[in-house]
Amino acid sequence: MDFRRTSVVEIARAVRAGEISARELASHALERIATLNPTLGAFVAVDGERALEQAAAVDQFVANGGDPGPLAGVPLGVKDNEDTAGYRTTHGSAVLEDSPVAVADSAHVARLRAAGCVVVGKTNLPELAWSAHTTNDLFGPTANPWNLLHGAGGSSGGSAAALAAGMVPLATGSDGGGSIRIPSACCGLSGVKPSLGRVPGGGPQGPGWLDFSTKGPMARRMADIIAALDVVVGPEPTDLRSLPRPEADWRAVLNDPHVPVRVAWAPTLGYAEVDAQVLACCERALGVLESLGAEIVEVDPVFARDPIGDWLTVVGACLLRSLDPHRSHRSWDRVDPVLAAIAERARTTSAREMVAAFDECHRMNLELVELFHDARLLLTPTTAGVAPPLELGGAGLVNGEVRLDWVAFTYPFNMTRSPAATVCAGLSDAGLPVGIQLIGPQHADLVVLRSAAALEEAIGFDQLAPIGE
């Protein structure tokens, strides 16, 4: 079975019907990882024996006439910043490489496992998920299945590369500044950052990036993401931000995928420079939206300025909190120097500066409230450039110029807590995927999901990453 051609829903249906065993699926995933991971660096830990035991339990459930769940037997990769029983959670950092093995799953992973998923391993990320370039001193870089000389984006780059290469059909991610949407766009996937609180965090530790980051499932296409979201959304007592489960069946949006009558298009948000090929792909996607009945209204600018400074004020303080307890660790000198500098700079951040950063989040949301009075959806490029070459170390190319701000389109919507998705809009001349981003009003996740599913279907992008063909 090719995980790139078969949907999560089809896989689970076949397992529940006894047409294929969960053990066969797990074995295929493990073989695919063994073959491709030395080249891609998508997985950082794999426990084949544990995965096959989980799969056998699913098969026994089916043999006994039971229903193991709506995601029965689906192999799952878990980003290595989320607890998974039997694995260390290293966050891609050498100072955490000897962390104790987790004895319980995070709420997110527990819900996916309860729905029938089989965890096969942990996926790579930049150290403490701080960057859009997936590499670290502990495990090395993750390459892009579309072109091994390019990166997979980040910070959920290991999960995105694993999905694009067909190692697994489902994985987990987290998004505090674009970390699901950026690698999804770089690797030719659809991706979704749910509204803050939809997918629970919680657990024994406070939220890593306060109100900026949210967890979420990742897959190749919207139908699979929606199937996974349907089993993980809902309240969690240990998560102060978690939202009640919506009454609507999230899977029902696939029965009638459509786009709003009026959508807004912001090609720069008011401050970003966009690569000409990225812009051309996005404009073709806008033409598809128009063919579906949407009126496109250009609204540039959306924000008065680039909010990266306010975003970094909050994230820097959170990174300092995470790193400081490990300053005496034997591997402290292996901490990414840019990460260490960002954290150290945050040592002088005042309470007033933190409050001002959250005030800016409030002001930005007010601007979106006004925008959504006239349009139901906002569209932008997902990234300003395609997946950058590995040799650039996280910088991107925009119209041939090396730029660090190639990811300037995603973090504003972490600051506003907005639901946001990305859909593959096509390929650059070099054959690298380009994403277009869809942002909705507060808690309007279903609008975003329905529109993204409709656009994905109409664009019809179903090419496969060439690796492993």
Q: What is the pLDDT at residue 248?
A: 77
3-class secondary structure, 392: helix
Per-residue pLDDT band at 468 (split at 50, 70, 90): low
Total length of the chain: 469
Q: d(Cα 212, Cα 467) in Å, to the nearest integer?
A: 34
Cβ neighbours of residue 295 under 8 Å, at least 6 residues apart? 261, 262, 263
Cβ neighbours of residue 147 under 8 Å, at least 6 residues apart? 387, 430, 431, 432
Q: d(Cα 102, Cα 196) in Å, to the nearest integer?
A: 25
Q: What is the pTM of this model?
A: 0.98
Q: Which residues are catalytic?
A: 79, 155, 179
Whether 421 contacts 452, CB under 8 Å: yes
397-423 average pLDDT score: 97
Which candidate, 384, 429, 469, places its Cα nearest to that of 185?
Answer: 384
The alpha carbon dihedral of 96, 97, 103, 106 has a sign of: positive
Q: What is the pLDDT at residue 465?
A: 87
Of the listed ranges 25-29, 80-84, 254-258, 364-368, the least confidently predicted one is 254-258
* CA angle, 186 then 190 then 193, to 5°: 95
Could you give all domains of the chain from N- to C-terminal order, each with its CATH number? 8-459 (3.90.1300.10)
Q: d(Cα 227, Cα 219) in Å, to the nearest integer?
A: 10
Q: d(Cα 17, Cα 15) in Å, to the nearest integer?
A: 5
Rounded alpha-carbon distances, angstroms, from residue 461 to 147, 387, 401, 446? 18, 18, 28, 22
66-95 average pLDDT score: 98
Q: What is the pLDDT at residue 53?
A: 98
Please state, rounded to an integer, the average pLDDT across all residues of the chain: 97
The alpha carbon dihedral of 231, 237, 239, 241 has a sign of: positive
Q: Which residue has the tokens 């959304």?
A: 233
Q: d(Cα 354, Cα 314) in Å, to the nearest integer?
A: 6
Cβ neighbours of residue 359 under 8 Å, at least 6 residues apart? none
At residue 80, does pLDDT exceed 80?
yes
Instruction: Kindly report, residue by residue over 304-360, the tens digit of the pLDDT.
Output: 999 999 999 999 999 999 999 999 999 999 999 999 999 999 999 999 999 999 999
Q: What is the pLDDT at residue 469?
A: 59
Q: d(Cα 253, Cα 227) in Å, to the nearest integer?
A: 11
Cα 372 to chain centroid distance, Å, stands at 24
Q: d(Cα 360, Cα 336) in Å, to the nearest integer?
A: 29
Instruction: Kindly report, residue by residue over 90-101, the tens digit of the pLDDT.
Output: 999 999 999 999
Cβ neighbours of residue 325 under 8 Å, at least 6 residues apart? none
Instruction: Kindly report, residue by residue over 130-188, the tens digit of the pLDDT.
Output: 999 999 999 999 999 999 999 999 999 999 999 999 999 999 999 999 999 999 999 99
